[in-house]
């Protein structure tokens, strides 16, 4: 199997539309892989929401790393990490790239906003953008730092979110491409695909373009395919699925003061064990534990109950 970085590079450069599915912890990442997806979006919104904090860099960058490390350990498909603004300046980006490569995260997406960031769907027009030259420096620094040639740096353009228009978006995208970005993510929060389609029709480079159709989810996927986009990111639907299900279940259990009903609706405990790959450990115990360990004696109790053999 190709390395995770090569897999992500191939998704970015393939001739057809590919998909990344959001995950926010090791469990959801594994479920995404089992569903058949070729790659994972390590969503900043979803990771922060899972932790119970805001998508405003309330998590330190090393706390984000901790979360994505579990995701990477739990899967064999590539993860593109939503790395916000890079968590500081070009120097912070350099450290980030080194650490991401170590934990086998295949790429990162950084956005041209200021630290600490605010989610793009919250008062986007009022959010200041980064100086594009400064942001280009981050991209260059990231590309110069990576050791694995296939590690991917995706530059997210927030000009449309901030209301600056298509020409500014194109202007910035060009700068970021020149700086070495492996792909451009053009973000939009209007409810149609008009903005991203307009951007794409003006984009005359072979540098791949990535989209996040959260707000324009009613646009048929074929439209994105036909327009030549590289990757569509389903950016937060599993987080929202989890919230929907958890709220319903918690309310039901609270009201009924019983789990008898919910037990019929959910996977059994052994499905949790399967997802944790318990079977592998049981096989490994046979391989690495001495036979004598299955005969461990517990210390005898003073009330006369004899220590018994544990099979």
For a second copy, which stretch binds (CB under 8 A), given 7-15, 149-157, 191-199, 215-223?
A: 215-223
Query: Coil, helix or strand for 20?
Result: strand
Of 7-15, 59-67, 76-84, 195-203, which segment contacts a second copy by CB under 8 A?
Answer: 59-67
- Give 158's DSSP letter: -
Count CB atoms within 10 A of the CB of residue 175. 18
C-beta separation of 92 from 61 below 8 A = yes
Q: Dihedral sign for Cα 213, 151, 11, 132, please.
A: positive
Q: Considering only residues 155 through 194, tell me which ones interact with a second copy, judged by CB under 8 A.
A: 162, 164-165, 167-168, 171-172
Residues numbered 126-155 forming contacts with a second copy, rule: CB under 8 A = 126-134, 136-138, 140-141
Closest CA to 189 of 168, 169, 213: 213
Binding segment toward a second copy, per CB under 8 A, in 2-10, 77-85, 125-133, 200-208: 125-133
> For 183-236, where are the alpha helices, taking DSSP H only?
194-202, 221-227
CA 8 to chain centre: 13
Site for a second copy in 242-281 (CB under 8 A): 242-251, 253-254, 257-260, 262-263, 265-269, 271-273, 275-278, 281
Q: Tell me if 6 contacts a second copy by CB under 8 A.
A: no
Task: Find the shortest distance in angstroms from Cβ 27 to a second copy.
Answer: 5
Assigned token pair, 253: 């259990």
Geometric angle at alpha carbon 140, from 137 and 144, rounded to 5°: 140
84 included as an active-site residue: no
Taking a C-beta distance cutoff of 8 angstroms, is the pair 141, 108 a contact? no
Question: Cα separation of 81 and 120, whole Å?
Answer: 16
- Choose between 206 and 288: whose C-beta lies nearer to a second copy: 288
Residue 283 interacts with a second copy (CB under 8 A)?
Answer: no
Please give the residues from 225 up to 244 whose contact with a second copy meets the rule CB under 8 A.
234, 236-244
Residue linked to tokens 């074929």: 222
7-46 residues in contact with a second copy (CB under 8 A) are 19, 21, 25-32, 34-37, 45-46
By beta-carbon proximity to a second copy, the closer residue of 204 and 305 is 305
**Considering the complex, what minimum distance in angstroms separates the CB of residue 246 from a second copy?**
5
Which lies closer to a second copy via its Cβ, residue 61 or residue 183?
A: 61
Active-site residue set: 55
């Amino acid at each position: 199997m190709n390395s995770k970085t090569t897999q992500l590079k191939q998704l970015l450069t393939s001739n057809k539309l590919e998909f990344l599915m959001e995950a926010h912890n090791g469990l959801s990442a594994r479920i995404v892989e089992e569903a058949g997806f070729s790659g994972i979006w390590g969503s900043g919104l979803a990771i922060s929401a899972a932790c119970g904090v805001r998508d405003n860099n309330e998590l330190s960058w090393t706390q984000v790393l901790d979360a994505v490390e579990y995701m990477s350990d739990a899967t064999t498909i590539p993860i593109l990490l939503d790395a916000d603004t890079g968590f500081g300046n070009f120097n912070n980006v350099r450290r980030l790239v080194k650490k991401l490569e170590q934990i086998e995260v295949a790429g990162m997406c950084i956005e041209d906003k200021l630290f600490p960031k605010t989610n793009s769907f919250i008062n986007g027009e009022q959010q200041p953008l980064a100086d594009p030259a400064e942001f280009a420096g981050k991209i260059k620094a990231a590309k110069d730092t990576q050791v694995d040639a296939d590690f991917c740096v995706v530059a997210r353009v927030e000009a449309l979110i901030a209301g600056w228009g298509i020409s500014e978006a194109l202007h910035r995208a060009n700068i970021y491409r020149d700086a070495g970005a492996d792909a451009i993510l053009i973000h939009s929060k209007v409810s149609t695909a008009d903005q991203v389609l307009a951007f794409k029709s003006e984009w005359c480079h072979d540098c791949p373009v990535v989209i996040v159709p959260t707000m324009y989810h009613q646009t048929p996927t074929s439209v994105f395919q036909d327009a030549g986009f590289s990757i569509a990111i389903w950016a937060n639907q599993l987080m929202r699925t989890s919230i929907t299900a958890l709220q319903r279940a918690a309310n039901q259990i609270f009201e009924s003061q019983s789990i008898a009903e919910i037990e019929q609706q959910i996977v059994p405990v052994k499905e949790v064990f399967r997802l944790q790959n318990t079977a592998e450990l049981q096989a490994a115990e046979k391989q690495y534990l001495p036979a004598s360990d299955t005969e461990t004696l517990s210390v005898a109790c003073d009330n006369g109950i004899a220590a018994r053999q544990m099979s």
